[in-house]
Structure 1
Amino acid sequence: MSINLKNTHVIIIAISVVSLLAAYLAEYIFLLAPCPLCVYQRFPYLIFIMLGIISLSSQYSYRKYYITVAIISIIIAFYHTGIERGVFELSSFCKPLVSVSDNISVADFKKMLYHKEIALCNKPALVIFGLSMTEWNLLLNIFLLTMLFMFKNKSKSY
C-alpha cells in the first residue's frame, strides 16, 4: 500500500506537532525537566514541520531530506536510549542544563537546587508501558522513516 505524497506531508506535520506538544506538556504542565539529549530530539520535529510546510507549497518531493532528518533523529534517539539503558557511557552531550558560576553564594545555590529540576540523560523522567519517552520517540521515528519509504514519489525529487 502506498500513501499519497500530499497526505504524507500533512501526516508528518501532524505527527511532529503532536510530538512537540507532548514534550512541552511533559515539561511545562507535568514539570518533568528535559535532559540535553531530550531537547536535541525536538529539533528534527521542527525541521519536519518546516519541510512539510515547504513541501505542501511546492511541486518537488523533498523525500531525501525527510529521510535524512528521520535517520538523524533515529540516531539521536538510539544513542539516548543506549545511555538510558546503560549501553553507552554519559558524554559531554549530557551536561545538565543548569550552570553554576564561580561566585555564587550558598543561599543562591540552595535556592537554585530547590527550584530547578536537574535532568540526567541516563534517568528517564517518564516511563509509559515500560518504555521511556526516548524509546517512544525512537519507535515513532522508525515509523516515520518506514512511512517515508512507502509514499508514492510522482513529483520531481529536489
Structure 2
Amino acid sequence: MRSFLILIAAGGSAAMLLAALGFQYIGGLPPCDLCIEQRWPHLAAVIIGALALLIRGRFLPWLGALAALTTSGLGLYHTGVERAWWEGPTTCTSSPVSNLSADQLFDKIMAAPLIRCDEVAWEFLNLSMASWNAIGALILALIWIAAARTKA
C-alpha cells in the first residue's frame, strides 16, 4: 500500500510537471517567474518518490509531503498575486509609474519581463493554473502523508 501511495503522489507531481510543460511548449503559454518556482518542488517530489520506493522508512514520504505543501503554498501565493489580494515580486508584476520621468519610465518598460505574474494566462472553472496547482498539490501532500503513516 505504501509503494502504491508513493507512486500516486510522485506520479501526480510528474503529471503536473508534464501538464505545465505542455501548456508552455504545446499551448504556447510561457511561464512567469512564479510559475517556474512552483515546478521545482514537483521535481523534488518526483525524485523523492523514486528514492522512497527504494529506501524504506517514513522520512522520505514526509519529505515528499513537504515538497507538495511547498508548491501548494507557492500556488496559493501566486493566486493571490493574480487576484490582486497582495503584491507580488517586483520582478514580474506591474507597479505604479507615477513620479517617474520619461527616461525612468522607458527604462522600467525595457527592463520589464515579458510574462507577468499578476495576470492570469489561463483559467478553468474560474481558477488559474496557479490555483489548480495549489489544490492538486495539497491533495498530493495528503497522499504523501498517508504513505508516511502506512507501515512499510
TM-score surpassing 0.5?
yes
The 8 Å contact of residues 33 and 118 in structure 1, kept in 2 or not, is answered as no
Per the alignment, residue 43 of structure 2 pairs with 46
Query: Which residue, 89, 94, 116 being the options, matches 1:120?
Result: 116
The 8 Å contact of residues 37 and 93 in structure 1, kept in 2 or not, is answered as no
C-alpha separation in 2, matches of 1:28 and 1:89: 28
The C-alpha deviation readout for 1:18-58, integer Å capped at 9, x for no partner, is: 11111111111111111000001000110011001001111
C-alpha separation in 2, matches of 1:41 and 1:75: 9
The C-alpha deviation readout for 1:44-89, integer Å capped at 9, x for no partner, is: 1100110010011112231221122122112211110100111111
Question: Superposition pairs for residues 47-66 of structure 1, below 5 Å?
Answer: 47-61=44-58, 62-66=60-64
C-alpha separation in 2, matches of 1:26 and 1:136: 13
Unmatched 5+ stretches in structure 1? 97-116
1:148 aligns with 2:144: yes
Unmatched 5+ stretches in structure 2? 95-112
Per the alignment, residue 112 of structure 1 pairs with none
Question: Superposition pairs for residues 62-77 of structure 1, below 5 Å?
Answer: 62-77=60-75
Per the alignment, residue 7 of structure 2 pairs with 10
**3-state SS in 2 of match to 1:124:** coil
The 8 Å contact of residues 13 and 52 in structure 1, kept in 2 or not, is answered as yes
The 8 Å contact of residues 62 and 145 in structure 2, kept in 1 or not, is answered as no
1:68 alignment partner AA: L
**3-state SS in 2 of match to 1:41:** helix
Aligned pair count? Answer: 133
Aligned-pair distance for 1:95? 6.4
Identity of matched residues, %: 28
The 8 Å contact of residues 119 and 125 in structure 1, kept in 2 or not, is answered as no
TM-score, normalised with respect to structure 1: 0.76
C-alpha separation in 1, matches of 2:33 and 2:124: 20
Per the alignment, residue 104 of structure 1 pairs with none
Higher helix fraction: Structure 1 or Structure 2?
2
Question: Superposition pairs for residues 29-44 of structure 1, below 5 Å?
Answer: 29-44=26-41
Aligned-pair distance for 1:15? 0.9
Aligned-pair distance for 1:94? 2.8
1:122 alignment partner AA: D
